[in-house]
Amino acid sequence: MMKQKKIMIADDDPGIVDAVEMLLEFEGYKVTSTLDGAAVLNLKDDLPDLLLLDIWMSGEDGREICRQLKSRDETRNMPVLMISASRGIKESAFAAGADDFLAKPFEMNDLLQKIEALTGNSTLSTNLAV
């Protein structure tokens, strides 16, 4: 039996956090979340298998958070999937070290496919949009 993959969601929109959290839990993932991007920088032990990180959060730039995570030995290899309503900043997300990017609004199937690719986990098909 495969180990349950852990995903952390960091987004300042509670509606998106709730919807994505419910979908991912339904798909069999263990999910934690935070509305505070800076809290992600405190990750040391029990790292998630993937971080779903919003680029624009209140007072925080997800790209800077990603840069800091990728510069640390303990979080360097943790996959980061950045999301943003600003499609034009995809390149800057990759420049910050993101492993992948998804523009909002997104189809849940697209999110699940990207998560599967980054974690090596297979998921069920769900037709929902956020």
- Angle at Cα 37 formed by Cα 50 and Cα 44, nearest 5°? 55
**Complete domains list, the chain, with CATH:** 6-118 (3.40.50.2300)
Residue 2, pLDDT above cutoff 80: no
How much is the mean pLDDT over the chain? 89
Residue 124, pLDDT above cutoff 90: no
Q: Which residue has the higher pLDDT, 123 or 99?
A: 99
Question: Other CB atoms closer than 10 Å to residue 73's CB: what's the count?
Answer: 6
Mean pLDDT of 83-106: 92
pTM of the model: 0.89
H or E stretch covering 82: strand 80-84
Residue 78 CA: distances (Å) to CA of 43, 90, 93, 113 = 11, 19, 15, 17
Mean pLDDT of 93-121: 94
- CA pair distance 42, 38, nearest whole angstrom: 8
